[in-house]
Amino acid sequence: MNEQEIFKEIGPEGIAAMCSAFYKRVPDDDILGPMYPKDDLTGAEERLRDFLLFRLGADTTYIEKRGHPRLRMRHAPFQINFRARDRWVKIMDESMAEAGIRPEIAATLRIFFAQVADFLRNVPETDGPFKI
Ligand code: HEM
């Protein structure tokens, strides 16, 4: 299942529903909660939604508002270790389920999310499975 097929099925509504479910979970999360801007969760939700609309639906609103995503640079202020990576992917799994994303699509999107999340790790680990 490719990006166009996924977008055709879930549409902008599916992406919006996932992002809304995700940001509903963020504030109470013990790892992620403290990293996100408490006074701008609506803005953060909009940035993730626009990014996913760009990545999956080729809608250029994100680029117009934010420029090139440069995700590693934009995540540099946050300490992203294995636990933060795994938590992000876990709450996105829950959010996709809550948004009613079909399991086959969720499994495909999960691969993308997990790859990006791993690429965003930016602290040396001393207790993880892969020491760097
Ligand atoms: C690995 C764990 C991750 C952590 C701890 C994390 C944390 C954060 C935080 C704290 C922000 C700032 C919120 C804001 O004001 O916009 C942010 C922004 C963002 N994150 Fe993540 N993130 C993670 C993974 C991901 C993944 C996997 C993606 C995409 C698939 C992603 C996409 C974005 C985008 C698009 C923004 C907004 C960038 C901008 O335009 O400023 N993040 N993230």
For 15-74, write each residue's pLDDT tens digit: 999 999 999 999 999 999 999 999 999 999 999 999 999 999 989 999 999 999 999 999
Distance, in Å, from the CA atom of 87 to the CA atom of 100, rounded to the nearest integer, reads 20
Sequential DSSP letters for 7-70: HHHHHHHHHHHHHHHHHHHGGG-TTTGGGS-GGGHHHHHHHHHHHHHHHHH--THHHHHH-S--
Return mean pLDDT, the chain.
94
More confident residue, 132 or 95: 95
CB of 31 shorter than 6 A to ligand 1? no
Which domains, and CATH codes, for the chain?
3-119 (1.10.490.10)
Question: What distance in angstroms lies between residue 4's CA and the mean position of ligand 1's atoms?
Answer: 23
3-state secondary structure of 131: coil
pTM beyond cutoff 0.75: yes
By most ligand atoms within 8 Å of CB, the mutation choice from 66, 120, 121, 125 for ligand 1 is 120
CB of 47 shorter than 6 A to ligand 1? yes
Q: Cα 28 from chain centroid?
A: 17
